[in-house]
Amino acid sequence: MAQAKPLQGKTHQAKAQFGYRRHADQDRAGQGPAEHPVVVVGAGPVGLSLAIDLAQRGQRVVLLDDADRIGEGSRAICFSKRSLEYWDRLGVGDRMVAKGVVWSVGRIFHGDSLLYQFNLLPEDGHKRPAFINLQQYYAEAYLVDRISDLPEIDLRWRNKVTALEQRNDGVALTIETPDGAYRLHAQYVIACDGARSSLRQMVGAEFAGQVFEDQFLIADVKMTAEFPTERWFWFDPPFHAGRSALLHRQPDDVWRIDLQLNRYADPVVEKKPENVRSRIARMLGHDKFEFEWISLYKFQCRRMDRFIHGRVIFAGDSAHQVSPFGARGANSGLEDAENLSWKLDRVLRGTSPASLLESYHAERSMAADENIRESTRSTDFMAPNSHQEARLRKAVLSLAKETEFGKRMVNGGRLSVPCSYDSPLSSPDADVWGGGPSPGCSMLDAPVAEQAYLTDAFRKGGTDFTLLSFSNGAAIDVPDGVKDVRIGGEGGLADPSGLVAKRYDAAPGAAYLLRPDGYVAARFRHPTRAAIAAALSQAQGLN
């Protein structure tokens, strides 16, 4: 594994650099290209996480990146509870949370007054917080470190895919390196190569959606400040009249500031540090800060029509893009990775048919549509497209001063939560439930002991299909290969606060069948072996 060399942290500079290494696959004269089960293209948070997940499932992965560094400017900063739970399963959650700043409260201001505040996780009894803020370069560095524990992953820097050719049984790739080009074959290629994905172009895929004309200035500034660790969002603040602004704290006294600019602003002028400085000084009331990163964006909300093109599968920004408001970009990419990994593992092992991968497209394109819908609504509310939309917004902001329903209509970004799937892998409820996660929803966390949580029990020994059961004293016949997590009864886990039963609306005897990505496949008030087996085969794509 190449050792990371830390670089100086200046504006627009990378945080760690890795060495290019020649690989034996480049020296196969006369033998034909090397064959690999999976090639992941792109060592950003999504590609790195997917590679780790596949490796933990025992798959060999080649991970290619055209750069030799991470952290070319910070991008994603807000990582959701669901992403942290995923990173727990990949063995990096503690490190992310230890470095990140934890938050759950947001405040929305109009002018100079507070309109309302919200708490994204008001209840106790969860291992992970609603969100942490962490610079993307830290997240990537911790994932790269984790990869050094996993010999299954062969991470190759400065390996740029320049051509691909679909075959019946896989994909042939041409890869450019500092030593020249070489070829390799993969059964599956996973494109995690970001919004400007060159693999997307190589498969000739459409990428349709909406481009927003307003521009946003994004800056990471280093300063000591007393703002609380909360998300602050302003409509029409005194320091930036007629536009919106967003403030987030990050580790190391770095603050992310997003300022909406008008659509006619000249990007070259706006990006000049002296101009950014005066805007931010107006916001903060002082100019005692240093820049770590400055960028100017126009946002797009769009997705590929299909996430699967032959043997090339797209995940993260290569497949779908949203505006940053709502923190749905990186978090949904990580959900893509978790959704795809267990399915691809089963297909490669031959324990599920290749058609199981279709459910990746079905589920994750549904999630992309939801994210695009939410993100478009937020962006339209922040930057109205017409005189009528602007009048509506003015009326809503005025109503919000006085009424609860007005507050609910204000849209300063709805933050990422896991999508619920209307999925071919789910078995519909046959019993009556008054609550709890229904089939197609993500599992919920709850304490099972002092400092131990259901999500810990779920991941212990590797994430696989799991039967979460609530003991009534009778033994449940758990199918082969399904992990058993039992609440109550002899040898079972405790439910000290009663929150497991409450959150799952479970009486003794009930059971939930969880997929390896922590989604509910089916649930039963009175499980039978036959019903569990049928739901399991449905969820494994065997029906």
Question: Given the complex with ligand LIJDXRAZ, which of 333 and 518 has the nearer CB atom?
Answer: 333
- How many C-beta neighbours within 10 Å does residue 118 have? 14
Q: Are strands 447-449 and 452-453 parallel, antiparallel or unpaired?
A: antiparallel
Residue placing its CB nearer to ligand LIJDXRAZ in the complex, 138 or 504:
138
Q: What is the contact mask toward ligand LIJDXRAZ in residues 25 to 64, using x (rule: CB under 6 A)?
A: ----------------------------------------
Which residues have a Cβ under 8 Å from the Cβ of 453 and sit 6 or more positions away?
Answer: 126, 127, 445, 446, 447
Binding region for ligand LIJDXRAZ (CB under 6 A) out of 36-44, 54-62, 118-126, 320-328: 320-328
Structure tokens given for 185: 């074959």
Q: Are 10 and 299 in contact (CB under 8 A)?
A: no
Q: Which of 42, 47, 324, 333 binds ligand LIJDXRAZ (CB under 6 A)?
A: 324
Q: Is 413 in the site for ligand LIJDXRAZ (CB under 6 A)?
A: yes
The smaller minimum CB distance to ligand LIJDXRAZ, of residues 243 and 248, is found at 248
Nearer to ligand LIJDXRAZ, 230 or 358 (CB): 230
Question: Least separation, in Å, of the C-beta of 292 and ligand LIJDXRAZ?
Answer: 13
- Give the chain's count of helices (H) and strands (E): 14, 28
Please provide residue 283's backbone torsions phi and psi, each rounded to the nearest 5 degrees: -70, -45
H helical segments located in 350-467: 356-382, 387-402, 404-409, 454-459
Pairwise CA distance, residues 248 & 20, whole Å: 35
The distance of closest approach from Cβ of residue 299 to ligand LIJDXRAZ in the complex, given in angstroms and rounded to an integer, is 10
Nearest Cα neighbor of 366 from 331, 324, 418 is 418
**Residue 416 Cβ vs ligand LIJDXRAZ, minimum distance, rounded to whole Å:** 9
Window contacting ligand LIJDXRAZ (CB under 6 A); options: 76-84, 333-341, 487-495, 523-531: 76-84
Pick 36 or 248: Cβ nearer ligand LIJDXRAZ: 248
The verdict on 327 binding ligand LIJDXRAZ (CB under 6 A) reads: yes
The stretch near ligand LIJDXRAZ (CB under 6 A) out of 38-46, 259-267, 321-329, 338-346 is 321-329
Token pair for 134: 């962490």
| The only residue of 126, 231, 249, 407 in contact with ligand LIJDXRAZ, by rule CB under 6 A | 231
* CB closer to ligand LIJDXRAZ out of 108 and 536: 108
Residue with smaller CB distance to ligand LIJDXRAZ, 133 or 365: 133
Minimum CB distance to ligand LIJDXRAZ, residue 7 (Å):
22
Phi, psi of 182 (to 5 degrees): -145, 170
Residue 116 contacts residue 404 (beta carbons within 8 Å): no
* Among 109-117, 319-327, 334-342, 418-426, the segment contacting ligand LIJDXRAZ (CB under 6 A): 319-327
For residue 513, list its beta bridge partners.
467, 522
Residues 6+ apart with CB under 8 A from 368: 303, 319, 320, 332
As to burial, measured by CB atoms within 10 angstroms (0-12 exposed, 13-18 middle, 19+ buried), residue 479 is: middle
Q: Which is nearer to ligand LIJDXRAZ, 77 or 203 (CB)?
A: 77
Binding residue (CB under 6 A) for ligand LIJDXRAZ from 125, 316, 326, 437? 326
Residue 212 structure tokens: 């927003």
Q: How far is CA 369 from CA 20, 197, 301, 310, 361, in A?
A: 38, 19, 10, 22, 12
> What does the binding site for ligand LIJDXRAZ look like in residue numbers (CB under 6 A)?
76-78, 218, 231, 246, 248, 256, 258, 324-327, 413
